[in-house]
Amino acid sequence: MENIYKNLDLNKSSSKKLDWLLIQHEMKKKLGSEVYESWLKKIDFIDEFNNYILISVPTRFIRDWITSRYLDQILQIVKIFKKDLIRIEFKIVENNINLDNQNNIDIPSKKNENVSFLKDSFLQYNRVDHNKRFENFVTGNSNKLAYEASLKVTENLSHYNPLYIYGGVGMGKTHLLNSIGFELKKRKKVMFVPAERFMYQFIKSIKANDMVRFKEYFRNTDILLIDDIQFMNGKEAMQEEFFHTFNALLDKGSQIIVSADRSPNKLSRIQERIKSRFSGGLVVDIQKPDLELRRNIIENKINELNKLYADKIEISKEIKDFISLEISSSIRELVGAINRLISFSRIYNKLPNLAETKIVLKDLLNINENKVTIDLIQTLVCKFFKISKNEMLSSRRSRYLVRPRQTAIYLTKILTSKSLPEIGREFSNRDHTTIIHSVKTIERLKENDKDMAENINNLKNQILYNTKENEV
């Protein structure tokens, strides 16, 4: 709460600072939501300097991808807001990649999210995302109950009131709330509010001496959907107001639907009596998706994306199996992975193979780049070609040593962030021109020699993926 107050002041005193949320909005509009969801959403704004901005992404692959395809357009967008900015610099920040944005609310770099709410008017609260409907919500053991309860609410108002849906990050809670909103909007007055916004609007209304309008507005709806109630951690006065709004709505027969990341009794910082009203309705949870559900979601998402284009993209069974096994804890990440693979296929006009899939999805998989050391690469390549490390690092030029050596050099180049001279040093002080020559040779061989390409892929997989088992 204090944080939000702080941000309010911050907004006044430095109103000229770049608002990343606006940039994101613009990127989504100009570059399309598929590209945005797959790549650009990953960008975090770090800071703004005299004539450039510093942003971060979780992997080098994403940085390179964004740089080669979208950087010009991003810069153009940035320049709309501030024409002095002429450069964008990247930083790779790996550690927060598996966190959901919503958990980072107190982290300074996310400040802008709060600040931007200032610009929102009351009217924007009815925004329901039309892409999230019951028809494209795939059900399985873990979410069936929540789905059915949500559907019931749209058929038989006030039967389950309030309806409280809880579950971890990326499990489909917001999707279900949207589906309910979308359905009921056809005949009822619907209000969809992230809890943070409710809070924010509350503070803003107090400051503007506008509480009457606030009350009227929120008490005048047939359906109130509040997303992520765990963020409603406001001061006493606000909880009081929420409680009264809540009761007033229930009294007049309005339907309330609430989502949260935990069960009502585990909500901290929320009044007991509010929690007990939540518990008094229907409480349903969404569990982690099982394999079958994950597979169905993958199929569904591919079909959905394919409908947007004339030509269809078929992802191989091997890759679908891989994704459904490896990305198991969040449906959001699963959907993100499919988005990315489809983007990749459309741009390269080819399907990624397994090794490429792993690189493209690296930040979503449990692959830790720091584990990919030159030592590991040399060890695995030696093992693969059945030579010793001494032989690899020697200056001997027998053919049976040269290829493995070049392979190891090539893999070091593409899988680590080491510079050419650094790689040279690790390979018995070879000159950087030797390193370039090795990389080019392997690239050429890969193009013309199927076996070679396959060997490299296998090795790449082993290095990237089995790093734990092969730890040296």
Instruction: Specify the residue, 77 or 190, whose C-beta has the smaller distance to ligand ADP.
Output: 190
Q: What minimum distance in Å lies between the beta carbon of 312 and Mg ion?
A: 30
Residue 404 touches ligand ADP, criterion: CB under 6 A: no
Task: Let me know: does 182 contact 130? Beta carbons within 8 Å.
Answer: yes
Cβ distance to ligand ADP smaller for residue 179 or 406: 179
Does residue 165 bind ligand ADP (CB under 6 A)? no
- Choose the contact partner of 283 out of ligand ADP, Mg ion, none; CB within 5 to 8 A by kind: none
Cβ at position 130, least distance to ligand ADP in Å? 12
Residue 324 is a binding residue for Mg ion (CB under 5 A) = no
Contact 242, 278 (CB under 8 A): no
Minimum CB distance to Mg ion, residue 418 (Å): 40
Q: 266 vs 444, which CB is nearer to ligand ADP? A: 266
Q: From the CB of 394, what's the least distance to Mg ion, in Å?
A: 57
| DSSP single-letter state for residue 122 | G
**From edge to edge, which strands make up the β-sheet containing 190-194?**
190-194, 223-227, 255-260, 163-167, 282-286
Q: How far is the CB of 167 from Mg ion (least distance, A)?
A: 9
Distance of alpha carbon 180 from alpha carbon 183, whole angstroms: 5
444 phi and psi angles, rounded to 5 deg:
-65, -45
> Which residue minimizes CB distance to ligand ADP?
172
- Determine the residue type at 253: G
Residue at 19: amino acid letter: D
- Alpha carbon separation from 402 to 185, 228, 408 (Å, rounded): 68, 58, 10
Task: Give the up-direction half-sphere exposure of residue 459: CA atoms within 13 A in the CB hemisphere.
Answer: 25
DSSP state of 316: P
Instruction: Establish if 401 lies at the interface with ligand ADP (CB under 6 A).
Output: no
Q: 3-state DSSP call for residue 91?
A: strand
Q: Is 99 helix (H, G, I), strand (E, B) or coil?
A: coil
From the list ligand ADP, Mg ion, none, partner contacted by residue 162 (C-beta under 5 to 8 A by kind): none
Candidates 137, 200, 246, 385: give the one binding ligand ADP (CB under 6 A).
137
**Number of residues that this document lists for the chain:** 472
Pair of tokens at residue 439: 């990389």
Query: For the window 310-349, what string marks contact with ligand ADP as x by the rule CB under 6 A?
Result: ---------------------xx--x--------------
- Told to check if 11 binds ligand ADP by CB under 6 A, we report no
Answer for the pair 397, 407: CB distance below 8 angstroms, yes or no. no
Output the smallest distance, CB 463 to ligand ADP, in A. 31
Say how far apart CA 193 and CA 202 lie, in whole Å: 12
Q: Which is nearer to ligand ADP, 201 or 339 (CB)?
A: 339
Is residue 294 a contact residue for ligand ADP (CB under 6 A)? Answer: no
| Binding partner of residue 343 among Mg ion, ligand ADP, none, CB cut-off 5 to 8 Å per kind | none
Distance in Å, CB of 447 to Mg ion, minimum? 45
Q: Which stretch binds ligand ADP (CB under 6 A): 111-119, 169-177, 245-253, 440-448?
A: 169-177
DSSP 22-90: HHHHHHHHHH-HHHHHHTGGG-EEEEE-SSEEEEEES-HHHHHHHHHHTHHHHHHHHHHH-TT--EEEE
Q: Is 254 among the residues that bind Mg ion (CB under 5 A)?
A: no
Using CB under 6 A as the binding criterion, the count of chain residues that bind ligand ADP stands at: 17
- Under 8 Å CB-to-CB from 296, ≥6 apart: which residues? 138, 140
Q: Which residue's Cβ lies closest to Mg ion?
A: 174
Distance CA 372, CA 323 (A): 21
Min dist. Cβ of residue 347 to ligand ADP (A):
21
Nearer residue to ligand ADP within complex by CB, 335 or 393 = 335
Neighbours of 347 (CB within 10 A): 12
In this structure, the dihedral spanned by the alpha carbons of residues 190, 100, 201 and 10, taken in order and rounded to 10 degrees, is -160
Residue 264, contacted partner among Mg ion, ligand ADP, none, CB below 5-8 A by kind: none
Q: How far is the CB of 143 from ligand ADP (least distance, A)?
A: 5
Q: Which residue number, 94 or 100, has a Cβ lying nearer to ligand ADP?
A: 100
Q: Which of 297, 338, 374, 401 binds ligand ADP (CB under 6 A)?
A: 297
Whether the CB-CB separation of 320 and 291 falls below 8 Å is answered with no
Asked if 197 touches ligand ADP (CB under 6 A), the answer is no
Q: Contact between 174 and Mg ion (CB under 5 A)?
A: yes
| Stretch of 135-143, 152-160, 229-237, 372-380 lying at the interface with ligand ADP (CB under 6 A) | 135-143
Sheet order of strands, 87-92 included: 44-48, 52-57, 87-92
Binding to ligand ADP by residue 138, rule CB under 6 A? yes
Q: Which does 171 bind (CB under 5 to 8 A by kind): ligand ADP, Mg ion, none?
A: ligand ADP
172 binds ligand ADP (CB under 6 A): yes
Strands 223-227 and 255-260 come out as parallel
Interatomic CA distance for residues 16 and 79, integer angstroms: 13
Residues that bind ligand ADP (CB under 6 A): 132, 136-138, 143, 167, 169-175, 297, 331-332, 335
Residues that bind Mg ion (CB under 5 A): 174
